[in-house]
Each structure stands twice: as structure tokens, then as C-alpha cells.
């Protein structure tokens, strides 16, 4: 039966028969946050402002991210080591994205405002409207950070579990070879 | 494991059809009881009442001294193994076996140990990562049993678990169930219409017909001392030969033969003198040599034995000879009976000294 000494062993042994649902679930959740991010960007004027190759690249990256994250979620579920690295890379990519469209849009003055109106606002010391408002910026950045963090956590968890399993299986193999000889 | 008591159990459906009549049975702790009978005799209904899948119309069901008649199935602590396995095809064998414990929110490490222990017992350790559709029928049935074992229930119920398997696999799985019972010493109720399963597995057999219990006893009791004509003809393969005979002057007279009675048999049939009774002869209790002439219809050599089908007068007869024989249709063979069973023609009950 279970005691303090063999709990660690049982946990390791369980990996042989259970899937890594935690990493898989986290990766799928990351996809959801990424989706929230791009839906919010594309539905707003931000999308219109970046209506050039940038938005094309963004759309393409979102598609690649979702496909890669989904495949990785299936991969890590079955303890494929390579996919944990892919997830971590995707996570870092998501965090880097905060500095691209959301931050750029937030630091860019709204192009629909005329020069006169802009001068007047500056003269009155009022806030100059930007392509992306504060609330939208925090929401978008939050989504990207959340997606990135979830991917990284999923990747790290998968890495730990997979290496543990690989080592444990090697140990079992060694023991069974030893008992045969 | 626990005692199980079925007291005056009855099942009446909404359309007033009564499927089970006054079923009484005390199952001792660790006993394997087989309910056997033809299709529609009420054996599965009885099992389903014990499981809680059918409401009990009358009587009481007591498990371990506790009346569970009105208790919902989940609280009865019973595990059931179905004929069609009822496995989740999208789950691995490990997950199938662990599923019920996960639903109970048991500790995952304990679940793991229980599943591995059950898999070890059933020889499924190497299959745990496979899906049910990757396994053979026998292995799937073992998984279904494993799912029951991990729960360590008070009572195991088996509803014709081997019916979907081919003959060879059925024999192998039957032996596995027997070994499992010996190992677990679990209280088990097993339903089948296959008398071979009943005779080989059971500690005691409950033979049923038309919702009524016909006889409860050990396999040997049912084979050797059937309580009535139904049990006599249902248990035993090929079935018992039956002859309408008249008892007269210490002899049995049939239309085409007569048989001498021993002193013991004469005493047993004393009150039937001059009356008609039914004489039952098992095919294996017929030997070559004697005064009764059988006209042969067919000869079936089975290797160790030979089945000879024929007729004695207007009665059909099946003989099971130990020796290899090559009778041809139309041949005659003289036989005698080594063991006789007697039944009251009116009540169909066995005539015995008890």
C-alpha cells in the first residue's frame, strides 16, 4: 500500500499509463487567450491602422501559432519531448508580440485626428488619443502574456514529466535486463 | 466480501407480466452461485434486481445484513460484468479500469496500485496502454472483470459474460473466472444459459424456468438427483432420455421393452404399482449389451465417445458409448441401463426416497 517511501515511485510509475493532460490543457488554454487577443485587435480600428503587410503577417502568425500549439498539446499529452521545447518557444514568441502591435499601437497617435485638433489638445494639456486605448492595450497585452505564460508552463511541465518518464523507463529496462541475465 | 440474501423476491412489470416468482436464496460469503435456465426464465431479471437495475416488486434483498431493496444501485457496492463488456472505446485499458475509482475521487496513487494489482491478476499488465478495440474478445472481457475487481465490491454479478466469445476462448475465459474466484474468494452471482459453464463454475446452481426456481444445489446434485423433469432434461448434454413406463410386479413396462427393478427401486416405486411414471436415462448411463434393442438412426463419433441416436419402439433415444463405434442407419444395437431416474408423471417431480 501507499507510504511516504513509495509515493514518489508510484507517481513516476503512473506516468507510464496516464497522459500529460495538464500540459495539453494549458496549451489549449493558451490558444484561447491568443484567439481573444486577435479577435479584439481585428475587430477594432487597430486592424485598419495596420492594414498593410503587418496585419497579414499577424494573421499568418496567429494561424501558425494555433496550429503549432494544438499539435504541441497533442504531442506533450503523449510525452513527446520535442513538443515541450516548441511550446516554450511559442510562449516566448507570444510575450515578444506584446512589444509589437499592442505597444506600437498604443504609442502611435490616432491618425484620424487632424493636425489642428491635435495642436489644440496639446495646448490644453489633454490626453492625445492613440491607435490603441489604455483598456484595449492592457486587455491585449494581458491575453498575449497569459497565452505566453501558459505555453511556457505547459512546456516546462511537459519537459519535467517527459524526462522523468524517459529516465524511469530506462531504469525499468535496465532492471528487467538485469533480472533476465 | 459479503453474504447475500434474496427473500421472496418477485418481479412484476408494469404490464402485469410476472418475470420472477418467490425467489429465495442465501448466498454464503465467497460462494459462486450460477443462475441457469433457458432464455426468458427470469435469471437476468433476478440479477438486474440484485444490481438495482430493475425495481424489486416484492420481497427483500439483503447484503451483509443490510436491507438494500430500495437502495439505488450506486450505494449497493456491487460490480456487474456485462455480456457486451461495456468498455469505453476512447479510453485506454488503464483508464477503463480506473474510471469508476476516479469518479469516486479516490487518491490517484491508490487507484494506480489497485489497477496494477487487478491487471496483474488478469494478465493485462502489458495491455494497459492499449484501447479496447486493440484487444481480443477474451481480453476485453478480462478488462471488464478488472474494472469490477478494482472496486473490491461486496458482490460480483456476471451477466452471461462469455456469450460473445468463440468456443475455444469461452473455455479459456471460464477457467480464468474460476481461478479468479478461487483467488479472490469473492461472493459471485453468475448468469448463464450454458449448462457447461454452470456445472464447471458453480459452488451451487440455481436452475430456473418460467420465473420459478426449479432446484438449488451443487452441480453434482443437479446432475445426479434432478428435482423434476425440467432439471433432468436441462442439465446434462445430450439431455436425459425419457420413457413413459408402467410399474407392475417389480418391473417397468414400456411399449417395446421391460426393465427389471432392483429391490431398492421396487421399494421406492411401491406406491406407483400399476401406475404410469416417467423413466429417465442419461445417455451416458446406457451401455452396449442387454435386452433392449435400439434401431440406429445416426452414429456420431466424438473421439473419446460415440453418440448413437436411435429409437426404442416409438421412443427416441440417445446413447453415449465410451467406445468408438461405427453403426450405420438401420443397424440394431442391444443396450442396458446402468442408472435410472424416476419421475411422477402428473407432478413431474422426481420420485426419491427423501
Per the domain annotation, does A82 fall within a domain?
yes
Per the domain annotation, does A6 fall within a domain?
no
Closest-CA residue to B145 (of B154, B156, B131): B156
Best to test chain B binding among A18, A19, A176 (most B CBs inside 10 Å): A18
Cell triple for B219 = 452441480
Task: Catalogue the E-assigned strands of chain B.
Answer: 4-12, 18-27, 32-36, 58-63, 66-67, 78-81, 155-159, 187-192, 204-209, 212-217, 241-248, 251-253, 258-260, 276-281, 286-301, 306-312, 315-321, 332-337, 341-344
pLDDT higher than 90, residue B166: no
pLDDT higher than 80, residue A48: no
Phi/psi at B107 (5° precision): -60, 130
Residue with cell 498539446: A73
Q: In sequence order, which residues have a C-beta less than 8 Å from that of residue A44 and are 6 or more positions away? A: A132, A136
Closest-CA residue to A84 (of A162, A180, A167): A162
Per the domain annotation, does A13 fall within a domain?
no
- What does the alpha-carbon distance between residue A91 and residue B92 come to, in Å, rounded to a whole number? 31
Nearest residue of chain A to residue B131 (CA atoms): A17
Per the domain annotation, does A29 fall within a domain?
yes
Which residues of chain B make contact with A21, given a CB cutoff of 8 A?
A: none
Domain that holds residue A102: 20-180
Per the domain annotation, does A130 fall within a domain?
yes
Tell me the mean pLDDT in the region B167-185: 86
pLDDT higher than 70, residue A110: yes
Distance from the Cα of residue B93 to its chain's centroid = 30
The pLDDT tens digits for B284-321 are 999 999 889 999 999 999 988 999 999 998 899 999 99
Domain ranges of chain B: 4-233, 239-344
> Cβ contact (<8 Å) for A13 and B112?
yes
Among partner residues A7, A14, A17, which is closest to B129 by beta-carbon distance?
A17
The pLDDT tens digits for B105-155 are 999 999 999 999 999 888 899 999 999 999 988 889 889 989 998 988 889
Best to test chain B binding among A3, A5, A10, A22 (most B CBs inside 10 Å): A10
Question: Helix A21-43 and helix A134-180: axis angle, to 10°?
Answer: 160
Per the domain annotation, does A3 fall within a domain?
no
Residues of A with CB under 8 A from a CB of B: 1-2, 7, 10-11, 13-14, 16-18
pLDDT attached to residue A27: 97
The number of folded domains in chain A is: 1
Nearest residue of chain A to residue B97 (CA atoms): A17
What 8-state DSSP symbol labels residue B141? H
Its CATH architecture, for the domain B239-344, is Beta Barrel (2.40)
> Cβ contact (<8 Å) for A10 and B109?
yes
Top CATH class of B4-233 equals alpha beta
Per the domain annotation, does A14 fall within a domain?
no
> Cβ contact (<8 Å) for A2 and B92?
no
Nearest residue of chain B to residue A2 (CA atoms): B110
State the complex-level ipTM.
0.74
Per the domain annotation, does A15 fall within a domain?
no
Nearest residue of chain A to residue B129 (CA atoms): A17
pLDDT higher than 60, residue A1: no
Instruction: Count interface pairs A-B at CB distance under 8 A.
Output: 27
Amino acid at each position: 500500500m501507499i507510504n511516504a517511501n513509495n509515493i514518489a515511485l508510484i507517481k513516476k510509475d503512473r506516468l507510464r499509463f496516464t497522459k500529460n493532460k495538464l500540459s495539453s490543457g494549458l496549451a489549449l488554454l493558451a490558444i484561447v487567450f491568443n484567439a481573444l487577443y486577435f479577435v479584439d485587435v481585428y475587430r477594432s480600428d487597430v486592424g485598419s491602422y495596420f492594414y498593410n503587410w503587418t496585419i497579414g503577417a499577424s494573421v499568418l502568425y496567429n494561424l501558425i501559432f494555433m496550429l503549432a500549439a494544438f499539435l504541441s498539446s497533442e504531442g506533450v499529452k503523449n510525452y513527446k519531448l520535442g513538443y515541450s521545447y516548441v511550446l516554450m518557444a511559442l510562449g516566448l514568441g507570444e510575450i515578444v508580440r506584446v512589444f509589437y502591435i499592442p505597444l506600437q499601437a498604443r504609442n502611435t497617435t490616432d491618425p484620424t485626428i487632424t493636425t489642428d485638433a491635435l495642436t489644440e489638445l496639446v495646448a490644453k494639456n489633454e490626453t492625445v488619443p492613440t491607435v490603441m486605448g489604455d483598456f484595449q492595450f492592457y486587455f491585449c497585452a494581458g491575453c498575449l502574456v497569459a497565452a505566453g505564460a501558459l505555453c511556457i508552463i505547459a512546456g516546462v511541465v511537459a519537459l519535467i514529466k517527459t524526462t522523468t518518464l524517459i529516465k524511469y523507463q530506462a531504469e525499468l529496462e535496465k532492471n528487467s535486463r538485469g533480472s533476465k541475465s | 466480501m459479503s453474504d447475500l440474501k434474496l427473500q421472496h423476491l418477485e418481479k412484476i412489470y408494469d404490464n402485469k407480466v410476472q418475470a420472477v416468482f418467490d425467489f429465495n436464496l442465501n448466498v454464503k460469503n465467497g460462494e459462486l452461485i450460477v443462475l441457469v435456465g433457458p432464455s426468458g426464465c427470469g435469471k437476468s431479471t433476478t440479477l438486474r434486481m440484485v444490481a438495482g437495475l430493475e425495481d424489486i416488486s416484492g420481497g427483500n434483498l439483503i447484503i451483509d445484513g443490510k436491507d438494500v431493496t430500495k437502495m439505488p444501485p450506486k450505494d449497493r457496492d456491487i460490480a456487474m460484468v456485462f455480456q457486451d463488456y461495456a468498455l469505453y472505446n476512447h479510453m485506454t485499458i488503464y483508464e477503463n479500469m480506473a474510471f469508476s475509482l476516479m469518479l469516486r475521487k479516490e487518491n490517484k496513487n491508490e487507484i494506480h496500485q489497485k489497477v496494477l494489482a487487478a491487471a496483474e491478476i488478469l494478465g493485462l499488465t502489458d495491455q494497459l496502454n492499449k484501447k479496447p478495440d486493440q484487444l481480443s474478445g477474451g481480453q476485453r472481457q478480462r478488462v471488464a472483470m478488472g474494472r469490477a475487481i478494482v472496486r473490491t465490491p461486496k458482490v460480483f454479478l456476471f451477466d452471461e459474460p462469455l456469450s460473445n466469445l468463440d468456443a475455444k476462448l469461452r473455455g479459456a475465459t471460464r477457467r480464468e473466472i474460476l481461478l479468479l474466484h478461487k483467488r479472490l474468494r469473492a461472493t459471485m452471482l453468475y448468469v448463464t444459459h450454458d449448462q457447461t459453464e454452470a456445472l464447471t463454475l458453480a459452488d451451487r446452481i440455481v436452475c430456473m424456468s418460467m420465473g420459478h426456481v426449479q432446484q438449488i444445489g451443487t452441480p453434482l446434485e443437479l446432475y445426479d438427483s434432478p428435482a423434476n423433469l425440467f432439471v433432468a432434461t436441462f442439465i446434462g448434454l445430450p439431455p436425459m432420455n425419457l420413457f413413459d413406463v408402467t410399474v407392475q410386479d417389480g418391473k417397468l413396462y414400456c411399449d417395446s421393452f421391460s426393465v427389471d427393478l432392483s429391490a431398492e427401486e421396487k421399494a421406492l416405486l411401491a406406491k406407483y404399482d400399476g401406475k404410469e411414471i416417467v423413466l429417465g436415462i442419461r445417455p451416458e448411463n446406457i451401455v452396449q449389451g442387454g435386452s433392449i434393442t435400439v434401431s440406429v438412426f445416426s452414429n456420431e463419433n466424438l473421439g473419446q465417445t460415440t453418440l448413437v441416436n436411435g429409437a426404442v419402439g416409438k421412443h427416441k433415444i440417445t446413447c453415449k458409448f465410451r467406445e468408438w463405434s461405427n453403426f450405420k442407419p438401420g443397424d440394431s444395437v442391444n443396450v442396458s441401463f446402468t442408472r435410472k431416474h424416476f419421475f411422477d408423471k402428473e407432478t413431474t417431480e422426481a420420485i426419491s426416497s427423501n
